[in-house]
Structure 1
């Protein structure tokens, strides 16, 4: 598996296919494999003539593990993502992030729009601005001795997922505590690249896609029917909507 170093941190990635590049940024406690390979995003995008670039964010998957929450800000993880583009000599690309990856994508769209042809914010709606999603109880669940010690239902969901993927739970807890920066409504309103916001209609973590769509000028909204935060990722409506959006963007 290829990797490169951004500062002292080793970042694992994949780079497959040919055509216009798209960078995929996974969600919290996930990885490029879980978020993008297994749900067939990589194969679907390649089949549609795309060069697919995806990374394991620091603290996740096969990338370096850190335990200082200050090393997990949205700004730092956005810098890792852009460093990968630099490493692969990719000046500009479409970018799709899911959940925390959507926060990272939105940050790049706002502060380095020259690097993006478009931004797809999956699994993140008005929560980008108002907050919500996994918080202190999830971090505590990740640090608990075992799943049996966790009573909070959201905490149990993330702890079980982390155990299933054999993740470094201590690194994930640090990441969760360090990546809580919200985007202000003003920042979101200043995003100028083409944006697609895609959220499941039963997703209680992301918040409303329509509410965020009213803030980001010219953005398009894709409501994924009857999907929650975990099940929207590989949905066929999501895939079709993204491919249609990419086919029409400038």
Structure 2
């Protein structure tokens, strides 16, 4: 797998296809390999006619883990993304991502507005007033992971219902259990602590983003609340929000993304 070093961190990546550039970031604790099995957006179809850069974020998948929690803030991860884009020869691109990757894309659009020409934000995470409780949860999870108190973590996660569109799918509902079994606890604790340093950009800053934006959200997920997606739609004048309540709705996300990207090409 191709790899490069950006900002003192070795990142694995995949660059596929030809055409206008799209950069996709995965969610917290995920990776390219996991998304190959549990894809919210299938880039083999959604990215038709585009060159798509996917990568394992710092501390995830095959990429390096670093020790400083703020290395994993969403703003810091946006700097990683922009540096990786530089390294592979990408200038202007559509910044896209799920959860942590969506937040990374937002920060990238504000750091380098001349480079991000559109956004695809999938299941945006907690932010602003809903973020404090989530960051406290991540700190507690990091402590339990480091202590290898997996039974307590699994018991707590069992009380949290899965998002509505994937509620009856074991691959999704058993994801966290697999993660605990497969991931080095030191690496996992680092990304949880890092997530505790992260938040979305200020609302006033987001309101300055005036590029086409597709927001894909789902229901039944307190970690990715519909309130965040709705607020983002309110703030950005060129945004569209699509909400999935069922698996059938979720299954449209790849085609919706493809249509959105095609519309950008037709306007270029």
TM-score, normalised on structure 2? 0.80
Report how far residue 103 of structure 1 moved: 0.6
The residue matched to 1:131 in structure 2 has which SS?
helix
Structure 1 residue 155: Cα displacement: 9.3
Report the Cα distance in structure 2 between the residues aligned to 1:155 and 1:28, rounded to whole angstroms.
20
Aligned with residue 239 of structure 2, among 194, 202, 219: 219
Aligned length: 242
Question: Displacement of 1:154 after TM fit?
Answer: 6.7
Unaligned runs of 5+ in 1: none
Unaligned runs of 5+ in 2: 161-173
| Contact 1:60-1:168 at 8 Å conserved across structures | no
Give the 3 Å change call, closer, same or farther, for CA 66–159 of structure 1 in structure 2.
farther
Equivalent residue for 1:117? 117
Q: Are the equivalent residues in 2 in contact too, given 1:78–1:105 (CA < 8 A)?
A: yes
Partner of 1:26: 26
Q: Is 1:135 the counterpart of 2:138 in the alignment?
A: yes
Shift of 1:9: 1.0
Name whichever of 111-120 and 155-164 sits farther off: 155-164
> Do 1:27 and 1:35's aligned partners in 2 also have CA atoms closer than 8 Å?
no
Distance 1:182 1:172 in 2: 22
Deviation at 1:67, TM superposition (A): 2.6
Higher helix proportion (structure 1 or 2):
2
CA shift for structure 1 position 91: 0.5
Q: Which residue number corresponds to residue 211 of structure 2?
A: 193
Q: 1:152 to 1:137 in 2, by over 3 A?
A: farther
Q: 1:93 to 1:106 in 2, by over 3 A?
A: same
Measured against aligned partners, the alpha-carbon deviations of 1:20-48 in whole angstroms (never above 9, x if no partner) come to: 221110000000222257537232135x2
Q: 2:156 aligns with which of 152, 156, 159?
A: 152
What is the RMSD computed on CA atoms of the aligned residues? 2.5
Contact 2:146 2:185 in 1 (8 A): yes
The CA deviation at 1:146 is 4.3
Q: Indicate the larger mover: 147-156 or 217-226.
A: 147-156
CA deviation after TM superposition for structure 1 residue 5, in Å:
0.5
CA deviations on 1:104-152 (whole Å, 9 max, x unpaired) are 0010112212111211110106x23333456333323433414223332
What is the CA distance between 1:207 and its match in structure 2? 1.5
Q: Decide which moves more: 143-152 or 114-123.
A: 143-152
Change (3 A) 1:123 1:129: same
Question: 1:248 maps to what in 2?
Answer: 263
In 2, Cα distance between equivalents of 1:5 and 1:201: 37
Determine the C-alpha separation between the residues in 2 that align with 1:147 and 1:3: 32
Residues 119 and 214, structure 2, Cα contact 8 Å, conserved in 1 = yes
State how far apart, in whole Å, the 1-side matches of 2:33 and 2:252 are.
20
Task: Tell me the distance in 2 between the aligned counterparts of 1:194 and 1:17.
Answer: 22
2:109 corresponds to 1:89 = no
Aligned 8 A contact 1:109 1:193 in 2: no
Question: What does 1:13-92 correspond to in 2, within 5 Å?
Answer: 13-35=13-35, 39=39, 41-46=42-47, 48-92=48-92
> Which TM-score applies when normalising by structure 1?
0.86
CA distance in 2 between partners of 1:213 and 1:54 (Å): 25
